[in-house]
Structure formats: structure tokens, C-alpha cells
């Protein structure tokens, strides 16, 4: 039975405190401090994911998995900024530093912090870590998060699109690119057995915090509702079998 105890609980509490305080950082400390807090939240969340994976599959396998994710995602992002494929015509601003070939090094860490939770969703829905049901469900669960993310990052001027898109300024090709890239990475990485319950908690907390943040602090009501619905479908699908099992046990 996978349990959350000790350091993961403290890290999750710290991560949530940073997310809750982020809207007030710019007012208190200025714009640079706000961008630094974005980096800090990504570092903490990716650290939580790595800690959970290390406890489940060991340091070596976690390090190999993390290295593959970081290298593959940086490569795909670098190709994307030069060729405009598979995400469309976009570019990163200089807000996030350091950068390598026009890609902030924080971006691969953002993939790292959410791909394993999305894999946990895919593992729960498919019952395995192989086959196209796992791959596709993981990719869709991961891309659902971007319905929150991209409008938020554009609002913060972290990246820009050459022309207005159909989804709150974001072109639909971007989401097709996310699905394609996450399918490819999932196939190439072939993730080991994941600590399913803790990673599902990270996915669920991200869903809750993004929804609340976009509505309460950032005035992004449309993306908030769309992201809430999309990620919420996967949260419900992931937890429904467990809820049903508990209901059966209570009746008996």
C-alpha cells in the first residue's frame, strides 16, 4: 500500500504555500521575484515527483527516467521554436532564465513535474504501463493540464504566439503538438511501475490549485472552466473505481 508520510507531506505543503502566495509576491517584492517564484514552484513540484519515484523504483531508475524526460522535452521544444512544429508559431520571452537555444531550462522540468502524474492516471485507467490505452490516456491527461497552463503563461508574458489562436489566444495545433509529444516521450521512456496513489494526488492537487488560481487571482475564467472540466474527467475516471469499491464494502 502506497502511503504519503514524512518528507513528501512537507514538500507538498511547501509547494502549496508557494502557489498560494504567488499572486501577492509581485506586489510585495516586484516582477523579478514573481518570476523567481514560478521557477521555485516548478522546482519544488518536480522535486516531489522525483522523491516519490525514487522511493518507489530507486535512485538509478528514477535518474534515468528523469534524464530521458528532460533531454527529450528540451529537444522537442528546441525543434518547436525553430521549425514551428509540432506546437505552432510561438517563441519564449526572456523572462525565464537560463535558456539554451531559446528554450528556458525550466520548461523540461515542467514536463518532468507533470508527466509522471499523467502516467499514473494512464496506469490507473489502463491497468498497465503498456499498450496504446496507457499511452493515449496518459497523453490526454497531460495535455488537459495545458488548457490551464498556456493562457496563464501568455498572460504572464512568458511565451508569445505570432498570431491569435482559437482557444483564448492559443492555436489548436499547440494542443495537438502536446498530445503528439507526450505520446512520443511516453513510448520512448517506457516508465517503470509508478507510485500510483501519491502521483494521482499531485495530479488532483494541481487540478484544484490551477482552477482556484485562474478564477480567484488571474481572471482567466474561460481557461479555468475548460481546464477544470478536462482534468476533472481524468480525476473522476482515476478515482471512480476506488470509490465504487468502497461503496460495495460499506454495503456488505
DSSP 194-214: --HHHHHHHHHHHHHHHHHHH
Q: What is the largest CA-CA distance in the chain?
A: 61
Average pLDDT (170-191) is: 95
Q: What is the pLDDT of residues 79-129, one digit of tens each?
A: 999 999 999 999 999 999 999 999 999 999 999 999 999 999 999 998 887
Q: What is the pLDDT of residues 29-82, one digit of tens each?
A: 888 899 999 999 999 999 999 999 998 899 999 999 999 999 999 999 999 999
Among the residue ranges 69-73, 155-159, 193-197, the one predicted with the least confidence is: 193-197
Model confidence, pTM: 0.91
For residues 28 and 25, what is the distance between their CA atoms, to the nearest angstrom?
5
Average pLDDT (158-179) is: 93
pLDDT value of position 70: 97
pLDDT value of position 10: 81
User: What confidence category does residue 6 fall into, taking pLDDT thresholds of 50, 70 and 90?
Assistant: low
pLDDT value of position 158: 94
- Please enumerate in sequence order all residues whose Cβ is within 8 A of that of 245, keeping only pairs 6 or more positions apart, or say none: none
Average pLDDT (143-164) is: 93
For residues 100 and 158, what is the distance between their CA atoms, to the nearest angstrom?
15
For residues 9 and 80, what is the distance between their CA atoms, to the nearest angstrom?
36
41 class by beta-carbon count within 10 Å (0-12 exposed, 13-18 middle, 19+ buried): buried
Given a contact cutoff of 8 angstroms between Cβ atoms, the answer to whether 108 and 74 are in contact is yes
Given a contact cutoff of 8 angstroms between Cβ atoms, the answer to whether 68 and 60 are in contact is no
pLDDT value of position 193: 82
User: What confidence category does residue 148 fall into, taking pLDDT thresholds of 50, 70 and 90?
Assistant: very high
pLDDT value of position 2: 54
Written as nine digits, the cell of 158 is 512568458
For residues 106 and 53, what is the distance between their CA atoms, to the nearest angstrom?
20
pLDDT value of position 4: 56
Residue 211 has pLDDT above 50, yes or no: yes
Amino acid at each position: 500500500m502506497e502511503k504519503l508520510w514524512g518528507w513528501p507531506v512537507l514538500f507538498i505543503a511547501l509547494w502549496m504555500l508557494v502557489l498560494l502566495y504567488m499572486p501577492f509576491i509581485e506586489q510585495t517584492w516586484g516582477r523579478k521575484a514573481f518570476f523567481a517564484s514560478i521557477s521555485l514552484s516548478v522546482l519544488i513540484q518536480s522535486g516531489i515527483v522525483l522523491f516519490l519515484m525514487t522511493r518507489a523504483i530507486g535512485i538509478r531508475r528514477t535518474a534515468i527516467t528523469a534524464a530521458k524526460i528532460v533531454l527529450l522535452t528540451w529537444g522537442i521544444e528546441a525543434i518547436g521554436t525553430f521549425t514551428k512544429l509540432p506546437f505552432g508559431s510561438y517563441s519564449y520571452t526572456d523572462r525565464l532564465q537560463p535558456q539554451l537555444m531559446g528554450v528556458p531550462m525550466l520548461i523540461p522540468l515542467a514536463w518532468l513535474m507533470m508527466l509522471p502524474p499523467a502516467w499514473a492516471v494512464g496506469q490507473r485507467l489502463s491497468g498497465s504501463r503498456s499498450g496504446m490505452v496507457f499511452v493515449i490516456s496518459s497523453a490526454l491527461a497531460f495535455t488537459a493540464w495545458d488548457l490551464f497552463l498556456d493562457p496563464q503563461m501568455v498572460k504572464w508574458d512568458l511565451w508569445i504566439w505570432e498570431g491569435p489562436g482559437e482557444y483564448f489566444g492559443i492555436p489548436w495545433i499547440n494542443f495537438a503538438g502536446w498530445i503528439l509529444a507526450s505520446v512520443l516521450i511516453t513510448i520512448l521512456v517506457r516508465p517503470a511501475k509508478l507510485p500510483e496513489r501519491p502521483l494521482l494526488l499531485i495530479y488532483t492537487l494541481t487540478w484544484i490549485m490551477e482552477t482556484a488560481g485562474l478564477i480567484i487571482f488571474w481572471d482567466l475564467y474561460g481557461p479555468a472552466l475548460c481546464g477544470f472540466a478536462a482534468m476533472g474527467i481524468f480525476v473522476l475516471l482515476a478515482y471512480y473505481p476506488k470509490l465504487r469499491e468502497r461503496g460495495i464494502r460499506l454495503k456488505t
